[in-house]
Every structure is written in structure tokens, then in C-alpha cells.
Chains A and B, each alone.
Chain A
Amino acid sequence: ELKVEQNPLFLSMQEGKNYTIYCNYSTTSDRLYWYRQDPGKSLESLFVLLSNGAVKQEGRLMASLDTKARLSTLHITAAVHDLSATYFCAGDTGTYKYIFGTGTRLKVLA
């Protein structure tokens, strides 16, 4: 059964700093997804990574996938307060069943 782990679980960072969130998964998952959730809101898709070596960027966020290492990263560049949210990665079991990690709660301090 696919298991997805994220670290760190909590991240408090200063505006303008860079940081990386890590997502490890336990079995073969060729596709990896990142979502964002604001407090009291539902999840919003950020990135879909479909193959080994895939890299996607949107604004200050960049996601990558290494299927051999079973690792995806979400890199934050020059953080701003608006990026404060909980970020989830999710793996695909291959049968269109998506398993989510426990999330990384990010707080960007002014």
C-alpha cells in the first residue's frame, strides 16, 4: 500500500528566505501531485508531475520529481506572507487512487 510522508510537518520562515519541503513515498508512483490548503478552505491543485525528472514552476514555487529516489520536492524561493498555507503532496497508486501525505504547515513571518 502506498504511503506518503512529508517533512517537515511545520515550517516557520522569514519573508525573503528559501526553503524546501520534501515528500517521500513508499512504492512505485509515477505521478506526484502538490496541493495547497488555506485555513478553513478546501484543497487547490498546484502541480502535477508526470514523469521522472519532471520540474514545474509557478511564481515562487517549484516542484520536482525523482521517481528513482521516490522523492518529490517543493522549493520556495524568496517566501512572501501570501504563501502561508498547508501544502500536501499526493501519490497515485496507478489505479487513480490518490494517497495524501500529512501536510506541511508553512508560516511565513514578516
Chain B
Amino acid sequence: DTGVSQNPRHKITKRGQNVTFRCDPISEHNRLYWYRQTLGQGPEFLTYFQNEAQLEKSRLLSDRFSAERPKGSFSTLEIQRTEQGDSAMYLCASSPTARGGGEKLFFGSGTQLSVL
């Protein structure tokens, strides 16, 4: 299967701990996105990469959040000193670069984070 893969599917952690999530995009896609979704809400933009360059980061994102995409392949999202408010589904998506724009996003199944 060549879809977007996210690991782990579920993560339970205690407040104050650090967590890291991984996303493997579709191989030929050069854009990679991270979104956060809470129950009953739409996905909230966190950040995105074009190849290895992080092009934009949400102003709502605190400095406890950091994302990397070394060599423009997989990406990791790290949350330091987790808080209960960080509990959410973290979604990764990738897209190709289409001439003229209008690329749709291909989403992974997400990582559900629960902070106790």
C-alpha cells in the first residue's frame, strides 16, 4: 500500500512527558502537512513542508511543538512537556505538486494522543 502512514496509531502519555510521532508520506509527494483535530472540529493547520523546507508554521503553535522532515522524506512531530490540552488526533497529509495548483491532500489515519 502506498498511502500515508502514521505511527503510532495511539499514544497515551503523562503530562510533562515528551512525545514524537512519525509520518511517511506517499513517496512521490513533496508537500507534507501536519494538522490537529479535536472531537467535533475540523482539522487545524499546524505546519507544512515542501521537500525538507518547513515553509509555514501556525502562530497558534507553541514552541513546545517542533516538526522536521530530514531529506524531504518522512516527517516527525515532537511535543515537549505535554499538557492535557494537547490531547487530540494528529493528522499527517501529503500532496504532489500539480501545475496550476489545486492539489488535494491525502491523509493518513492519524495518531490519537491522550495526555493524562
Binding site for B on A (CB under 8 A): 4, 31, 33, 35, 41-45, 48, 50, 88, 90, 92, 95-103
CA distance A33 to B44 in the complex (A): 15
The yes or no answer to B85 lying at the interface (CB within 8 A) is no
Q: A42-B107, A43-B93, A48-B104 given. 16 additional CB < 8 A pairs? A: A42-B110, A43-B43, A43-B105, A43-B107, A45-B104, A50-B101, A50-B102, A88-B43, A92-B102, A95-B55, A96-B50, A98-B45, A100-B45, A101-B42, A102-B40, A103-B42
Number of interface residues of B (CB under 8 A): 27
Looking at the assembled complex, report how far the CB atom of A48 sits from the nearest CB atom of chain B, in whole angstroms. Answer: 5
Looking at the assembled complex, report how far the CB atom of A85 sits from the nearest CB atom of chain B, in whole angstroms. Answer: 14
Task: State whether B101 touches A45 (Cβ < 8 A).
Answer: no
Q: Identify A95's interface contact among B41, B44, B56, B103, CB under 8 A.
A: B56
Which residues in B have their C-beta under 8 angstroms from that of A103? 40-42
B28-43 interface bits toward A, Cβ cutoff 8 Å, 1 = contact, 0 = none = 0001010100001111
Looking at the assembled complex, report how far the CB atom of A28 sits from the nearest CB atom of chain B, in whole angstroms. Answer: 14
Binding site for A on B (CB under 8 A): 31, 33, 35, 40-45, 48, 50, 55-56, 91, 93, 95, 100-110
Which residues in A have their C-beta under 8 angstroms from that of B95? 96
Which residues in B have their C-beta under 8 angstroms from that of A48? 102-104
Which residues in A have their C-beta under 8 angstroms from that of B102? 31, 48, 50, 92
CA distance A81 to B95 in the complex (A): 30
Task: State whether B110 touches A98 (Cβ < 8 A).
Answer: no
CA distance A69 to B86 in the complex (A): 36
Task: State whether B104 touches A33 (Cβ < 8 A).
Answer: yes
**Chain B residue with Cβ nearest A43:** B107
Q: Identify B100's interface contact among A50, A90, A97, CB under 8 A.
A: A50
Residue of B33, B93, B103, B110 ringed by the most chain A CB atoms within 10 A: B103
Given contacts A31-B101, A97-B56, contact A42 B108 (CB under 8 A): yes
CA distance A31 to B101 in the complex (A): 9
Looking at the assembled complex, report how far the CB atom of B29 sits from the nearest CB atom of chain A, in whole angstroms. Answer: 12
